[in-house]
Amino acid sequence: MLHNEERHLIIQALNHHIPVKEIAECFSVNTSTIYRLRKQMEMTGSVETRTSLRGRKPALSNDDIVHIDNLIQQQPDITINEIMDTLHLKVSDETVRQAVLKLGYVYKKKSLHASEQERPRHSIEAKKLGGNVFRRTAQTTLCFSMKAGSIRT
C-alpha cells in the first residue's frame, strides 16, 4: 500500500509528463495503480487514502439515534423493546441499549419484589402445589435519566 507522500509524488511525476511505465518501475507498483491514482485525483481532487470506507458500518444511523433521543425525551419510562417497536429497528436490544448509553442516559432496572413473585419459597411448598412451579420472569421497566454532569450533543 502506498503512503500518502508516495501518492503525491506519483501525481507530481504525472504532472511533469514522466511516462507511466517509468513511474511504476520507480515506485515498484503496477501501471494500473498509476492510472487508478490519476483517476482518483480527477474524481475527488485528492489522492489521500480513503479510510472512511473501511471497517464495519454502524447498525444505527445518525437519524435513528436522534429518533431514539426524541422518544426518550417524550417518554422517559419507555423500554428498550418499546423503542425498537416504535421505530421499527431491525437491530438487537443490546445495540439500542448501547446507543442509549452513548446518548448519556442511564437506566434503572425495576424487577418484581420478592413478595410479588409467583413462586414457592421452598421445594416442599412446590411439592404441595403438585410439583409444577411456575415462575414469572421479572418485567423490566427502564427509567431513563441524564447522568450527573454529562453533556449531550
* pLDDT tens, residue order, the chain (153 aa): 789 999 999 999 999 999 999 999 999 999 999 999 999 999 999 998 887 778 888 999 999 999 999 999 999 888 899 999 999 999 999 999 999 999 998 876 666 665 556 665 666 655 555 544 333 344 444 455 554 444 444
Residue 153, domain member (yes or no):
no
- Name the pairing type of β-strands 141-146 and 105-110: antiparallel
49 shares its domain with 66: no
Shared-domain flag, residues 68 and 116: yes
Number of domains within the chain: 2
| Predicted TM-score (pTM) of this structure | 0.48
Q: Are residues 72 and 48 in the same domain?
A: no
Angle at alpha carbon of residue 152, lines to 146 and 153, rounded to 5°? 165
Based on the domain organization, do 33 and 78 belong to the same domain?
A: no
Let me know if residue 103 belongs to a domain. Answer: yes
- For residues 120 and 49, membership in a common domain is answered with no
What domain range includes position 80? 62-146
* Long-range interactions of 9-13: CB distance < 8 A, separation 24+: 10/34, 10/37, 10/47, 11/37, 11/38, 11/41, 11/47
